[in-house]
Copies of this chain bind each other. A is one copy, B any other.
Amino acid sequence: MEAAEFRRRGKEMVDYIADYLENIEKRQVYPDVEPGYLRSLIPEEAPEEPESYEDVVKDIERVIMPGVTHWHSPYFYAYFPTANSFPAMLADMLCGAIGCIGFSWAASPACTELETVMLDWLGKMLKLPDDFLAGTEGRGGGVIQGTASEASLMALLAARSRVIKLIQADQPDRSETDIISKLLAYSSDQAHSSVERAGMIAGVRMKKISTDSKFAVRGDTLQRALQEDRSAGLIPFYFCATLGTTPSCAFDRITELGPICRAENIWMHIDAAYAGSAFICPEFRPLLNGIEFADSFNFNPHKWLLINFDCSTMWVKNRSDIIGAFKIEPLYLKHDHQESGLVTDYRHWQIPLGRRFRSLKMWFVFRMYGLKGLQAYIRKHVGLAKEFECLVRADQRFEICADVVLGLVCFRLKGSNELTETLLKRINSARKIHLVPCQLAGKFVLRFAICARTIQSRHVHEAWCHISQLASELLQELPH
């Protein structure tokens, strides 16, 4: 396919995409296919000779769509949202065309520089302390990671490297492997599985700190753990706080935890993967108070800030901490400018070497929505969650299981876990809406997350009627 045909096919694809998204609610949100469905629909091997584009495109509806879970349907309430907007898609098209691999400044200066400035823009929207901004002379700055998992891992690796250097400065003969074997990292028992996984990857012990009745880690609990673990000869070095946990959108008390981490020389990383986007609204910004104690901070604009996956933004106070974690400089990646203070080589900030020109998506979205448009979007979602909460609270058969702070409502049928489990099975089997569960203090709980960009009040009411109806049917079947 050459440029002339691309002009035609690209425009057809633009229309296909617009049609798909305009009519998405007519599609069944969760597919009916059984595991293995796709293999039998297509040949066992790639074709020897080229096929026509018509044949390929026909197969989108025949092969792909029947197996798609439609994350952007207004009937999708599972997991957390993943962002999708037209400005982001336009920017991503441009990103594909430029197709540079921005591992160093020289590999494409615009790719690196726009990223640094966009992270400053976003940091200012969040009112991050100046320490986290790059500016022209700052020691901090931001980077786009692929996912929050990578950000937690990078933070943990930077913390590991910092503590090893610190200890070896005092005890030069102590080996790295010996130090690593004594290291201990902490997170909430509500933290995302990726935080625990980061510990496994880095080969360090990880301890989960128990949470209070609001599912939040408190300062005194961490303090007690630190005392115990230090007396057992371990070296606490990293704490991953969560703002907006995955099960219930709970907020660790970073104003209590931060001063402890600072006093004990522990790297505090803040994972606000979902909730972070809300901090652009003044009314939600207090949830981020305590950020001044953090060494690194991360959230996912690709969840709730209208920027398509992948765009997980991370800031550090001292870029030398993250760069120092494992800087390696082969000759084929060196360039003239790299010792200049103005230059960032983002390959040192991340696990992969290669990276796409992802900041274009941020630039398009921030400009096309404006801060006010983005704030309005967050507020719409929070408002709809509150609306759903009211509906649940008005029904005596149900209970709300965690404070509704942002766009997630955790609820269940009063009574046994089996009851709510059965309700969820029926909800998901009916295929009208899609939800996933979580466990909170031993209870099986339904998570209702406001997800779609195009969701409206009527969808939420429709979803509630449907859930309420299925609950009635279920409760009627029970023996009295």
The chain A residues found within 8 Å of chain B, CB to CB, are 1-7, 9-11, 13-18, 20-22, 31, 33-39, 42, 44-51, 53, 55-56, 60, 63-72, 79, 82-90, 92-94, 96-101, 105-111, 113-114, 116-117, 120-122, 124-125, 136, 146-150, 153, 157, 160, 175-178, 180-181, 192-194, 196-197, 200-205, 246-247, 302, 308-310, 325-326, 328-333, 337, 340, 342-343, 351-354, 356, 360, 363-364, 366-373, 436-439, 447
Q: Do residues B367 and A46 form an inter-chain contact, with CB atoms below 8 A?
A: yes
A50 and B6 alpha carbons, distance in the complex (Å) = 31
Q: Given B79, B90, B96, which contacts A107 in the complex, CB threshold below 8 Å?
A: B79
Chain B residues positioned under 8 Å from A360 (CB to CB): 64
Q: Which residue of B lies closest to A439 (CB)?
A: B331
Whether B11 and A11, one on each chain, are in contact in the complex, defined by CB atoms closer than 8 angstroms, is yes
The prevalent SS among residues of A at the interface is helix
> Which among B17, B202, B447 is the interface contact of A202 at CB below 8 angstroms?
B202
A–B pairs, 19, beta carbons within 8 Å: A6-B14, A6-B89, A10-B10, A10-B11, A13-B93, A14-B14, A17-B96, A44-B120, A55-B367, A67-B109, A68-B111, A71-B108, A89-B93, A101-B309, A147-B354, A157-B201, A180-B180, A180-B203, A196-B328
Shortest C-beta distance, A360 to chain B (Å), equals 8
Is A86 a contact partner of B6 (Cβ separation < 8 A)?
Answer: yes
* Residues of B close to A68: CB separation below 8 A: 98, 100, 108-111
A68–B55 Cα gap in the complex (Å)? 36
A78 to chain B minimum Cβ distance, whole angstroms, is 8
Q: Which residues of B contact A82 (CB under 8 A)?
A: 99-101, 354
Complex contacts, A84 vs chain B, CB 8 Å: 96-97, 99
A141 → chain B, closest Cβ, in Å?
12
Measured between beta carbons, the chain B residues less than 8 angstroms from A16 are 94, 97
Contact B36 A149 (CB under 8 A): no
Q: Cα distance A354–B192 when bound, in Å?
A: 13
A420 to chain B, nearest CB (A): 12
**B-side contacts of A22, CB under 8 Å:** 3
